[in-house]
């Protein structure tokens, strides 16, 4: 069935959508980790501004990468999952399993 939607604006396939959701979850876990680390540093009697800035910068990077991700770009989505899932598994033992 023909549509008037240009190919570059076509909706992602179901598989692309599922993979994109996984990538978003991975980025969400990483952003949450950064926020938790910044909060832990802030709770110290004498928080280190450089440490706080490090976590803010890292979270900002993850937010930008997540925002730039296109669900129709299978290679980029797969690369993000492959790059960051091992880190998330280290940060959150038991949160992600091989069955996920």
From the CA atom positions of the chain, what is the Rg in Å?
Answer: 17
The residues, ordered by sequence, that sit 6+ positions from 20 with a Cβ below 8 Å of its Cβ are 12, 69, 71, 77
- Could you read off the pLDDT tens digit of each residue along the chain, which spans 100 residues? 455 545 566 788 888 989 999 999 999 999 999 999 999 999 999 999 999 999 999 999 999 999 999 999 999 999 999 999 999 999 988 766 666 5
The predicted model scores a pTM of 0.82
């Amino acid at each position: 069935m023909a549509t008037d939607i240009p190919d570059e604006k076509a909706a992602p396939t179901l598989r692309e959508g599922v993979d994109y959701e996984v990538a978003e979850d991975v980025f969400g876990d990483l952003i949450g980790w950064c926020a938790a680390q910044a909060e832990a540093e802030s709770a110290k009697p004498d928080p280190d501004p450089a440490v706080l800035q490090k976590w803010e910068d890292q979270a900002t990077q993850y937010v930008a990468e997540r925002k730039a991700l296109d669900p129709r770009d299978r290679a980029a989505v797969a690369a993000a999952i492959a790059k960051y899932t091992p880190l998330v598994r280290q940060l959150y033992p038991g949160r992600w399993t091989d069955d996920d």
